[in-house]
Amino acid sequence: MITSFVEKSCINGEIIEISDKVEINHMKNSFRLQLGDKLRVVDGEFEYITEIIEITKKEILCKIIEKREDEFSTKVEIHGGIGLLKNDKMELVIQKLVEIGISKIIPIEMERTVVKIKERKDKWNIIVKESLKQCQAVKLTEIDEVKKLKEIPYEEYDLVLVPYENEEDIKISQVIKVNEKLGKVLFIVGSEGGISEKEIEYLKSRGAKIVTLGKRILRAETASIVVGGILANEI
C-alpha cells in the first residue's frame, strides 16, 4: 500500500488533508490514485489506513478507516553518530539508517573530516521522509545539527559503541551481552579518513566501548550501515 507522511495538524477528526503539492502530484500522476483507493498515512506517531474521498488540484482528502499503533520502530532508541561524508555517501547512509530504524542521526565534524559542512542540510530531511515512506516506517528519523565529538551528551546513553580498525578482539555481540536493559544506545563511525587515535582516547574517557567489525577495512558508509543493522536486530 502506498504511504504518505503528514503533519499532525493535517488530521482533523476522521479526515486527513494532504496539501503538499509535490505529494499530490506524485499521488495523482505517478501512482494514479483515484476516489475510493486505499492510502496508508503516517504522522510520526501513528499509522492510519484511509480511503481517498476527494481529489483536487490543491488537496487530497482521506477518511480514516483504521488507526494503528507504531509496530515498526525498535524498542531500544538507537542513535548513529556519523562522521561527515561527501554528499552522495552521506545521503546513502541517511537513507539506509532510516530504513534500518535508527531513531536519530548525528552528523559529526571530526579530525579527519574532508568535507566542510557546518549545518544540517534540508535535503537530508527530504531523504528521511522518502525513505520512511519506502520502508513502511511510522516515526521520522531525526537529523541533528552538525556537532563536534565534545558536544555530544554521552551521559544520556546506556551504551556508546565505536568500531575501530585497530581493535581486534571485542565484538559488538560481546558488548551487548554484558549490557542488559538498554534503553538508549549511540554508535559513532568516523569519516572517510577514519577516527584518529586522539579521538579514540577521548571516546574511551567518555565511557565508549571500542569494537571490531572484522578483519576487513570497511568504508565509512558501509560500517555505518553494518553497525546500525546489527544493533537494530540484536538489542
User: pLDDT of 15-48, one tens digit each?
Assistant: 999 998 888 988 888 889 999 999 999 999 999 9
Edge-first strand order for the sheet with 15-18 is 3-5, 38-42, 47-55, 60-68, 15-18, 11-12
Residue, of 120 and 123, whose pLDDT is higher = 123
Q: How far apart are CA 160 and CA 214, in angstroms?
A: 19
Q: 78 pairs with which residues across the strands? A: 185
Q: What is the pLDDT of residue 92?
A: 97
- Residue 38 C-alpha cell reads as 486505499
Contact status, residue 104 vs residue 73, Cβ threshold 8 Å = no
State the Cα–Cα distance between residues 40 and 50, nearest whole angstrom.
6
C-alpha pair distances (Å), 4 with each of 18, 39, 127, 183, 229: 8, 7, 14, 29, 25
Percent of residues, the chain, with pLDDT higher than 70: 100
Does this model's pTM top 0.85? My answer is yes
Name the pLDDT band for 119 (thresholds 50, 70, 90): confident
What domains can you pick out in the chain, each with its CATH number?
3-68 (2.40.240.20), 77-234 (3.40.1280.10)
pLDDT at 180 over 80: no
